[in-house]
Each structure stands twice: as structure tokens, then as C-alpha cells.
């Protein structure tokens, strides 16, 4: 584990395929969010491959309210792992990557799936580091609450 990443793990009583289906569906990402930061998918096409992008409407009062993030899929291993690298979409419609990644690793078990969520900011740009007062910008508890939200989505 790098000093510039944090992780949380939770055993979720659902098949890995069901959990992966939620994570690969941008329209369901709001269901995995412990706050109201992630809103809705701009276009709800499922994630199918590394290199694909998907945009999400977001809201965070601390940075002025509504904005859009473009997410570049960096890992796609069905029912095993999925990750994306967000970049904020500017007024010209292009995304500026920040240098961080959200990654989910799924390990199927007997009647449950171990899910590890990792937030990695090791490639954060100097601009991102200058604009964020502390790294990580999320406490460990945020990842734990996110996994609890994912469990609710997978088991309801």
C-alpha cells in the first residue's frame, strides 16, 4: 500500500457479478455514494472496457456547487476489478485529470463477496495538490460508508 492511498474492505452478502453490475453502471453510482456528492450519469451507457469514459453530474458546495466529472476507465476485469480516473470537465468541455483513481477489487467467497475500495492520489497533479487543502480529501470513514451504501444497493 502506497502512503498516498487509503482502502476499506467489506464483506457484502451478494454475488460478485451483482456487485460488479452496479459498479459498471454509471446510472447506479449515486447508489454507492454515502453523501449527495455524486448525482446522476450524464449518459447512462454501461462501462464495458478500459479506455472508455463516462461523465457524472456532481455537486459539492465547497467548490461552488454543480460540476461534471469525466471518468476514464483504467481497470475493467468483469466480476473482479474496476477503476476509473476522474477529471473535472471545464467550460470548454474538456476534462482535466486530477491524478487520482477510485478502484474496487472483488473477491468472491461462500455466499458473499469481499470488496476493497481504494482511493489512490499518488499521481495527483501539482495543480490538484495546490487546490486541495489536505490529502486525502476524504477520511477513511468515507470509504467505509461508501461500501455500506454499495451493500445496500446490492442487497435491496
pLDDT digits (tens, 9 = 90+) for 40-96: 668 878 999 999 998 777 777 666 777 777 889 999 999 999 999 987 787 888 887
What's the domain count of the chain? 1
pTM, rounded to two decimals: 0.92
Which residue range(s) make up the domain with 114?
A: 5-155
Q: How far apart are CA 146 and CA 151, in angstroms?
A: 9
Q: Dihedral (C-alpha) 9, 10, 14, 19: value to the nearest 10 degrees?
A: -40
Grid cell at residue 49? 472496457
Kindly state the helix (H) or strand (E) to which residue 131 belongs, with its residue range.
Answer: helix 126-131
CATH number at residue 100: 3.30.530.20
Please state, rounded to an integer, the average pLDDT across all residues of the chain: 88
Q: How many CA atoms lie within 13 A of 116 on its CB side?
A: 11
Other Cβ atoms closer than 10 A to 49: 7
Query: Where is mean pLDDT largest: 23-32, 129-138, 140-149?
Result: 140-149
Q: Dihedral (C-alpha) 38, 44, 46, 51: value to the nearest 10 degrees?
A: -80
Q: How far apart are CA 90 and CA 87, in angstroms?
A: 9
pLDDT tens sequence across 92-126? 888 878 889 999 999 999 989 999 999 999 998 88
Where b means 16+ CB within 10 Å and e means fewer, 58-73 reads beeeeeeeeebbbbbb
Amino acid at each position: 500500500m502506497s502512503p498516498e492511498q487509503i482502502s476499506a474492505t467489506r464483506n457484502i452478502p451478494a454475488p460478485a457479478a451483482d456487485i460488479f453490475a452496479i459498479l459498471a453502471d454509471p446510472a447506479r453510482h449515486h447508489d454507492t455514494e454515502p453523501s449527495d456528492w455524486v448525482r446522476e450519469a450524464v449518459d447512462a451507457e454501461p462501462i464495458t472496457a478500459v479506455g472508455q469514459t463516462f461523465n457524472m453530474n456532481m455537486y459539492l458546495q465547497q467548490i461552488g456547487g454543480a460540476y461534471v466529472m469525466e471518468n476514464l476507465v483504467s481497470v475493467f476485469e468483469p466480476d473482479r476489478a474496476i477503476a476509473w480516473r476522474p477529471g473535472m470537465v471545464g467550460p470548454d468541455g474538456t476534462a482535466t485529470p486530477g491524478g487520482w483513481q477510485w478502484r474496487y477489487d472483488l473477491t468472491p467467497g461462500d455466499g458473499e463477496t469481499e470488496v476493497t475500495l481504494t482511493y489512490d492520489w499518488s499521481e495527483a497533479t501539482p495543480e490538484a495538490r495546490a487546490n486541495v487543502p489536505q490529502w486525502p480529501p476524504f477520511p477513511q470513514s468515507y470509504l467505509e460508508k461508501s461500501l455500506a451504501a454499495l451493500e445496500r444497493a446490492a442487497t435491496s
